[in-house]
Amino acid sequence: MDPAAWRARLAAARVATLGTLDAGGRPHLVPVCFACLDDGRIVSAVDDKPKRSTALRRLDHVRARPDVCLLAHHYEEDWAQLWWVRVDGTASVLDVAEPVMLAALATKYAAYAERPPGGPAIVVTPTRWRGWRA
């Protein structure tokens, strides 16, 4: 696959797994909703789905170690349909998502159109794209 195809598959994916590193260098993975922005960045915002705490480890990890990985994949029993896309990048945390970010998330997810995420946002600037398909 070429990078444009990887980007298109990622943009169409409904969920991805965000990989961060804790202070000891141990990986931390969490599923996220996200949107690809026109400028190439990728955004995920903290929403009001039930969580044990609003002090999320992924936010602390990104603030301490901004290198992240985002993985989207597709599985089905017909293995000819398998694919994955991985984005390595540098992330930052915004205390409040920018309006363009909220609009991109609301366009992709109906729940966000009804109740925009009010929490912090993680913004990933891709540094490397990788992908595979059957």
> Helix, strand, or coil here: 9?
helix
Determine the pLDDT at residue 104.
97
Determine the pLDDT at residue 98.
95
Give the integer Cα–Cα distance in Å for 127 and 131.
Answer: 14
Could you tell me the two tokens for 88? 């390595």
Determine the pLDDT at residue 3.
83
Q: What is the pLDDT of residues 96-127, one digit of tens each?
A: 999 999 999 999 999 999 999 988 999 999 99
Q: What is the pLDDT of residues 36-82, one digit of tens each?
A: 999 999 999 998 765 666 678 999 999 999 999 999 999 999 999 99
Determine the pLDDT at residue 53.
62
Torsion of Cα atoms, 120 then 124 then 125 then 126, to 10°: -170
Q: Can you give the residue ranges of every domain in the chain?
A: 3-133
Q: Class assignment of domain 3-133?
A: mainly beta
